[in-house]
A and B are shown apart, each in its own frame.
Chain A
Amino acid sequence: MATLSFLCYREYARITGLFRERTISLIVVIGILFITFAALDNWYRLFVALFPLTVALIATGGLIPDQPKGYIQRVGLGVLGFALFGSALGNLGYMANDWNYRPILLLIIFAVELNDIFAYICGYLFGHRKFVPNTSPNKTVAGALGAIVLTTPLFALGAHFVWFGTALDTPVRLLGLGVIVSVVGQFGDLMLSSIKRDLGLKDTAKLIPGHGGILDRFDSLILVAPAMFHYVNYFVGFAAGQPQRIFSGWEI
């Protein structure tokens, strides 16, 4: 997960030009390292504390060049970068602390990828009305709705087996989770389209032939991770009964 976060952040920093701001970039990278540690350590309090603390550090690090012109842009980009690739993707890493982590992660990744495919197929078959023509001209209303209609029950079915017999295992709650994954997944896709369109780029990098960069592949996952994490956390909780603070838990 840390590797994925770093690769995504690297592409983001290069397309936005944030990589030229060495101090802010370094703080974001350190933040991602700490988030990874908190997830590995199963230390929820640190995990939660890291977002405001890193934002404060980025805002402080932005002062170092002593150049107020562009301060808001530099710090804003740094905070967005950490929020998306450190904090949001970190939620996916934290989910891996659950004893049942394999089906959970597989379910999310499959659902998000299927969601994209359903949107494409429904848009191709029934799409007439453009959804957000300025952001992404190929997206249609039918595609978006079709993806929600198809992904939600499939995801709910999968989730029923993953969280069998828990507080989450009621039809309404499972369908609610399905809708969240589908809708938020599509927003993640649109978010990256907006970022790329703002910068006038087609792909974020040329790493995988025919696919663009890592960020182009994992865009839908970025927003799904925190939305789903906190929804499930509200009803069931992650890593219940697992040892806490595995590495840092020794007494002084």
Chain B
Amino acid sequence: MEPWKLEPARDTGLTPSERFRSVRRESGLLESLAHHVCFSMLRSYFAIAHRLTIIGRDKLPAHGPFVLAANHCSHLDALILGAALTPRHRERAFPIAAGDVFFQSNVTSTFSAIMLNALPMWRKNCGPHALADLRRKLQEEKAIFIIFPEGGRSRTGSMMPFKHGLGMLVAQTNVPVVPCGLVGTFEALPPHRRLPQPVAIKLVLGDALQFASTANDRTGWSQIAAQVESSVGDLVTQSRTA
């Protein structure tokens, strides 16, 4: 635990709607309770409706900061990864969600922030400062990020190439990246469907990857993206065949 500091919340001075969309947001007592209740209920839902099996849960680091990187083909993905975390982890877990989907209106941004603790990533005009802010948050707040490096949901169910953004968050840091393979979410709720089908879902966690010695430049980021992509790809094939 960190030493005590008399330090105002990092989001002090923001209006409520700015705060919900801000990366500087820090949850209070009621919001934390809302995340816990929401993810506990989701966990029960996935266990009952989707017979969710989690393999390799012991590979999660004991505490933050770390990043969960997974393949993405459904809105259920982030919810499953959030629900797979222990209650102690959930306090600091932030799904990184598309700003243009989850933070466009006040209603959706309030829901995403209060219930899911999501942080926005603006896909069209996200400058390097947005990733720099996330990189700082990850280390300073010992946060846990849930990231889908494909940059969007796959429309076919097969994995798309990973983008560099993940590399910009973890290159030259001691933050481990846990690759996760999700199987069954495309069948349960593909992008063109509105309601989920009761299909079995499997989540496989791989060994954490470290990138402390990978350069924090374009080549390093590509290396990281490629390495995580191949790990996630392996996990997906492995769980499909198992």
Which chain A residues have a beta carbon within 8 Å of chain B's beta carbons?
A: 10, 13-17, 19-20, 22, 25-26, 29, 65, 67, 69-70, 73-74, 198-199, 201, 203, 205-207
Contacts and interface: CB of A to CB of B under 8 A. Distances in A.
Contacts of A10: 28
A67 B1 CA distance: 8
Contacts of A73: 4, 6
A73 B6 CA distance: 8
Interface in B1-58: 1, 3-9, 12-16, 26, 28-29, 32
Nearest to A70: B4
Contact of A14 (B4, B5, B28, B32): B28
B114 to A, nearest CB: 14
A224 B4 CA distance: 32
Given A17-B6, A67-B1, A69-B3, A205 B12 contact: yes
Contacts of B16: 207
Contact residues of B: prevailing secondary structure: loop
13 contacts: A13-B28, A17-B6, A19-B26, A19-B29, A20-B26, A26-B29, A69-B4, A73-B4, A74-B4, A201-B12, A201-B13, A205-B12, A206-B15
Contact residues of A: prevailing secondary structure: helix
A234 B93 CA distance: 53
A15 B4 contact: no
A17 B13 CA distance: 14
Given A22-B32, A26-B29, A206-B14, A17 B9 contact: yes
A206 to B, nearest CB: 5
Contacts of A22: 29, 32
B12 A15 contact: yes
A13 B12 CA distance: 11
Nearest to B1: A67
A19 B6 contact: no
B4 A19 contact: no
The 10 A-B pairs of least Cβ separation, nearest first, read A70-B4, A14-B9, A17-B7, A15-B8, A206-B15, A19-B28, A25-B29, A73-B4, A67-B1, A69-B3
Contact of B8 (A65, A69, A199): A199
